[in-house]
Amino acid sequence: MPDSAESTDDRTGPDAAHRRPGGLDDATVEALGKLSEALETVEEARGLLYGFHRRTGAADLALGEAVEQLRAAGHTDIADGIERDVIGRNVISGRWTFQIVEDYDDGYYAALRSAEKDARDALAAGKRHLFEAELKEDRRTRGRRHHEALPADVGESPEAPSAGE
C-alpha cells in the first residue's frame, strides 16, 4: 500500500488543453503568460469597480434612511440639505456608478479581453495558461500526493511532452 503522502497516479505533463502546440517558442509562451497576467489584473480591478458600484449604492440607500431619521428627530433643515445635495448625486460628472461600470466593461475591459484572446488564437491555438501549466510542471514534486499533474477524474492520460514541445 502506498504511503499516504505518495500519489497513486503520477501522470505527467499538462492535459491537452494546456499542452504547448508544436513550434511555440519559450519567448512567446512567456509573452502570452504576461498578457494573461495583465488580463487577470484587469479582472481584479473590474471586481473592485463592481465593489465600488455596490458600496456607493448601499451608501446612497443608507443616506436615505439617515435623512428620514434626521427628519423624525426634528432636524428637517439638515435632512433637506443632504437629500438635495447628496442623495442621488452623480459620482462623477453626469454618471452614476452603473454607468462607469458599463463604460469600463464595454471599453477597456472588452478591448483587452479581445486582444488577449486574439493573441492566444493566433499564437497558441487558443490555449490558455500555457505559461502557468509549464510552471506547474517545473514546480510540482512528481510522485507526491497533491502534486499530481491532473485531477484523478480527468479521462485523458497524456504522455510526457517531448523535448521542445
Q: Has residue 70 been placed in a domain?
A: yes
From the list 163, 151, 165, 115, the residue with the least C-alpha distance to 15 is: 151
Looking at the structure of the chain, the number of domains it has is 1
User: In whole angstroms, what separates CA 74 from the centre of its chain?
Assistant: 48
87 in Cβ contact with 58 (< 8 Å): no
Q: Has residue 156 been placed in a domain?
A: no
Q: Has residue 4 been placed in a domain?
A: no
Domain hosting 124: range is 24-139
pTM: 0.76
Q: Has residue 161 been placed in a domain?
A: no
Q: Has residue 77 been placed in a domain?
A: yes
Given its phi and psi angles, is residue 89 left (phi above 0), alpha (psi -120 to 50 degrees) or beta? Answer: beta
pLDDT tens, the chain, 165 aa long: 444 555 444 456 677 788 888 899 999 999 999 999 999 999 999 999 999 999 999 999 999 999 999 999 999 999 999 999 999 999 999 999 999 999 999 999 999 999 999 999 999 999 999 999 889 988 988 888 888 888 887 755 444 444 444
Q: Has residue 159 been placed in a domain?
A: no
